Chain A
Amino acid sequence: MHTRLLACTLFAALLGTSAYADPRSDAKSQVAFGIDVAQRGLWREAIYRWERAAEIDPKYAPTLNNLAVAYEHEGQLDKARQAYEKALEIDPNNVQIRQNYELFKEINDRTGADNKDTP
């Protein structure tokens, strides 16, 4: 009796999850592939994957965080800032995204025009 009940619950939960999470799970698989290639140094391919993931599920904060990191690596600092800010808008309490953003800002502020005088 218990076994049947548990099996039914698990089946229902699985069905529910798959019906709800299609775009999210698609995005997640793109994100995972992007991480895989980024770890092998293929940042352009990673950007392509994460941009696709962002199209599929624009509200998934890890995608935007990863995109921001990749843009940083490619020197596209304006795009990186936008992506970090969007990620934090979606998930403001994510410590890892905030930490990445703080490190990014440190570099950007250090090398940016903050110390520039008007000639």
Chain B
Amino acid sequence: MTGLGPTTRTRRSRWLGLLAASGVATLIACGPVSFEIPIETPIQPKLDVTPFQRVLIAGFVAGGTEDVDTNQETVRLLRSQLRSKSGLRIIDADPMPLMEIAQEQGRSGDQADASPSDGPRPTTVADRGSQPAMALPQRIREEKDLEPYERLFANTAYWKRIGEEYQNPLIVTGTVLFTPHSRSGFVSRDVEEYDSFGRRRVIPTRTYLERKGFILRPKFIFIDGRSGATIYSESYREEVLYNAQQTTPALSSYFELMDRLVPNFLSTLSSQKIRGTRVLLK
């Protein structure tokens, strides 16, 4: 049997050692090739709010579940957020009952509108929105029930008067629909399994689930209090679903969904910094 001589073996091991050492040296010299770094992305406000010092969160035409007073809660939440995260002064006033105001405007043959403080007040025909009169649903259950209320937001004379009353602020109003929702179907889930040798495996499994939750559909309308004209508006849709057995109060779900939307709302009025991490490459 032929084997390697001691000299050859020594030479080979010396070479192997040299190669290993050079590999380590190369790794040390090159170092890592990627570096995680925190960044803060500044986001400019979508709206130029420099002409305004004050903001009036007027109120919302709200509908959906009766478990939450969506108008009241939305006004309260947006005011508190703006107070801490924007430079605008927040006007403290009772949330306007916009549904009643719109209905009052409709009832008085489109010849009258209402102010929040003084109750119904006659106005001229020019105060109306340009849309023809549509029946206003007493109760808002779905999106199409909100459509007839749009003419309230287009009523520039009305909003101009509200603006004058509050010294020409930026007015925030709109619609909020918060509805219960359920969905059944197959959902993919990872299920842990152990085989006969005790080895753990994760197997994607499709399970039939009944889930229920809520959908939140707000539309924020920004009105220039000096002219009564809409200067910007944006709509959102967020939903949350829980296991059918889970009991989550409607108000908790409302705040959970609003939490997701509030940064977007704030970024309309004030500059924001969004924190995150990125990877730099060598």
Contact = CB atoms under 8 A, between A and B. Distances in A.
B258 to A, nearest CB: 15
Instruction: Name the interface size band of chain A.
Output: 20 to 34
A28 interface: yes
A104 B43 CA distance: 12
Interface centre among A38, A96, A107 (most CB of B within 10 A): A96
Interface string B239-282: 00000000000000000000000011001000010101011111
Given A75-B44, A103-B276, A119-B232, A69 B37 contact: yes
A32 interface: yes
Contact of A111 (B37, B236, B267): B267
Contacts of A116: 46, 232-234
- Report whether over half of chain A's contact residues are helix, strand or loop; otherwise say mixed: helix
A119 B282 contact: no
A32 B236 CA distance: 43
Interface string A9-34: 00000000000000000001001100
Given A111-B264, A117-B233, A38 B280 contact: yes
B93 interface: no
B34 interface: yes
Interface of B is mostly: strand
Nearest to B234: A115
Contacts of B11: 2
Contacts of A65: 279-281
A72 B280 contact: no
Contact of B264 (A61, A62, A74, A115): A115
Given A72-B39, A111-B43, A111-B264, A117 B234 contact: yes
The listed residue with most A CB atoms (<10 A of its CB), out of B35, B37, B274, B278, is B278
Interface string B211-240: 000000001000000000011111110000
A71 to B, nearest CB: 10
B207 interface: no
A60 to B, nearest CB: 9
A66 B36 CA distance: 11
Most A-side CB within 10 Å, residue of B234, B267, B272, B281: B281
Most chain B CB inside 10 Å of its own CB: which residue of A2, A32, A97, A110: A110
A73 B40 contact: yes
A54 interface: no
B280 A66 contact: yes
25 contacts: A28-B282, A31-B282, A35-B282, A38-B37, A38-B280, A39-B35, A66-B280, A69-B278, A69-B279, A72-B39, A72-B278, A74-B42, A75-B43, A94-B281, A96-B281, A100-B278, A103-B278, A107-B43, A111-B43, A111-B272, A115-B236, A116-B234, A117-B235, A119-B230, A119-B233
